Homo-oligomer: A and B are copies of this chain.
């Protein structure tokens, strides 16, 4: 079958890993990210991506096996880099409010830097994706790792008396994640408001909100 022929050629090209192949594949992933962001995962077809990348469908299959593989490629790197950032910040020897500020600023900067890759992930409901494919569960796991790091930082601040403790840490974390992730609906790194300004505003809101009025 042709499909199996393509799969073999793809496996061989990937194993060889020529510079041209790797660059071409990266360009495809970038084109896919833009289409996913504009149309959503469900409404994007392999043909849409091929068209946006300026290749035909058959050439596209020489680089990736499926739309699903493209989607995972689009989000995985950016997501893993954010989780590693969150876990690195959590381990630092610093007060919790400084850690939280650094994490929020880092998150918003990465949304701008990886734009629109990370927003493709934020936009799609990871729990819905998880139910549909083998790879999905990993993405939901990655999300939970990020959540855990943030919750730890908040708990640490509460225990140290830096943060109020009349709010469940998980609810506070979800509120802060919501502020940051909702930017996928309105924030454009090429727009008039940069990630630094958003990071500064959201850090100020979150930190003072968590310090509470009793201080």
Whole-angstrom CA separation of A113 from B185 in the bound complex: 24
What residue of chain B has the Cβ atom nearest to residue A198's Cβ? B171
- Given contacts A178-B179, A201-B171, A201-B175, whether A128 and B209 have CB atoms under 8 Å apart is no
A204 touches B167 (CB 8 A): yes
Closest to A177 in B: B182
Stretch touching chain B among A8-16, A25-33, A39-47, A75-83: A39-47
Q: How far is the CA of A182 from the CA of B185 in the complex (A)?
A: 11
Partner of A179, one of B179, B198, B211, B215: B179
Q: Which residue of B lies closest to A126 (CB)?
A: B185
B-facing mask of A50-90, CB < 8 A → 1, else 0?
00000000000000000000000000000000000000000
Q: A105 CB to closest chain B CB, in angstroms? A: 14
The answer to whether residues A127 and B185 also contact, given A167-B201, A198-B171, A201-B175 and a CB cut-off of 8 A, is yes
The B-contacting residues of A in range 170-215, CB under 8 angstroms, are 171-172, 174-183, 185-186, 193, 197-198, 201-202, 204-213, 215
Q: Report if A134 contacts B (CB, 8 A).
A: no
Q: Which of B38, B43, B181, B198 contacts A42 (CB 8 A)?
A: B43
Q: In the complex, what residues of B have CB within 8 A of residue A185's CB?
A: 125, 127
Beta-carbon contact of B171 and A182 below 8 Å = no
Residue A168 interfacial (CB < 8 Å): yes
A42-B43, A208-B209, A213-B215 as given contacts; A202 in contact with B183, CB under 8 Å: no
Chain B residues with CB under 8 Å of A181's CB are: 178, 182
Check B206–A208 contact: CB distance below 8 A: no
Which residues of B are found within 8 Å of A206, using beta-carbon distances?
Answer: 205, 209
| A93 proximal to B (CB < 8 A) | no
A174 to chain B, nearest CB (A): 6
| Identity of the chain B residue whose Cβ is nearest the Cβ of A202 in the assembled complex | B175
Q: Which residues of B contact A197 (CB under 8 A)?
A: 168, 171
10 contacts between A and B (CB under 8 A): A125-B185, A164-B208, A166-B204, A175-B182, A175-B201, A175-B202, A178-B183, A204-B212, A208-B211, A211-B213
